[in-house]
């Protein structure tokens, strides 16, 4: 269980670090307001969804004293998915955000998971080399 907690902790921290770095880069380079709004909105949507998913799965899998049914977990997931889709639709259809900025923001969690995978593979390779 230690490995999984280490990976999750790394992903959570790297989500916020990547989000802050992209926001800083967006401020430094001449980006439009819509692009920055897309980056911020996408980053917040992806990061908050990841945190809610993590919290729900942790409650149902790690804390057995609070029994949860699979249908309840999936129901919450689909509700969150639909709400996120509606928010994204409104943001793009009303031209509040630029789609490219939104896409980059939504990719923050994917980048964090990719970095966590590279980090763990590197640890495995270094452990085998010794």
pLDDT digits (tens, 9 = 90+) for 38-77: 999 999 999 999 998 888 877 777 766 656 667 777 888 8
Of 1-10, 43-52, 85-94, least confident by mean pLDDT is 1-10
Q: Does 60 reside within a domain?
A: yes
Q: Does 130 reside within a domain?
A: no
Q: How many domains would you assign to the chain? A: 1
Residue 78 neighbours by CB under 8 Å, 6+ apart: none
Q: Does 16 reside within a domain?
A: yes
pLDDT of residue 130: 61
Q: Does 75 reside within a domain?
A: yes
Q: Does 98 reside within a domain?
A: yes
The end-to-end CA distance of the chain, in Å, is: 23
% of the chain at pLDDT higher than 70: 92
Q: Does 108 reside within a domain?
A: yes
| pTM, entire model | 0.83
| Residues 61 and 55 sit within 8 Å (Cβ to Cβ) | no
Task: For residues 31 and 27, give the distance between their C-alpha atoms in angstroms, rounded to a whole number.
Answer: 7
Q: Does 88 reside within a domain?
A: yes
Domain containing 71 equals 2-125
Q: Does 57 reside within a domain?
A: yes
Of 27-31, 49-53, 84-88, least confident by mean pLDDT is 27-31
**Encoding tokens for residue 26?**
């967006």
E strand or H helix at 14, and its extent?
helix 2-28
């Amino acid at each position: 269980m230690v490995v999984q907690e280490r990976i999750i902790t790394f992903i959570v921290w790297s989500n916020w670090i990547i989000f802050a770095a992209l926001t800083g880069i967006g401020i430094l380079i001449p980006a439009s307001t819509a692009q920055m709004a897309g980056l911020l909105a996408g980053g917040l949507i992806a990061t908050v969804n990841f945190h809610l998913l993590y919290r729900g799965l942790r409650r149902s899998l790690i804390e057995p004293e609070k029994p949860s049914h699979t249908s309840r977990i999936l129901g919450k997931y689909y509700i969150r998915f639909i709400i996120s889709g509606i928010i994204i639709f409104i943001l793009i259809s009303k031209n509040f955000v630029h789609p490219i900025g939104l896409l980059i923001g939504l990719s923050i969690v994917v980048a964090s998971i990719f970095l966590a995978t590279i980090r763990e593979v590197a640890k495995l390779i270094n452990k085998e080399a010794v």
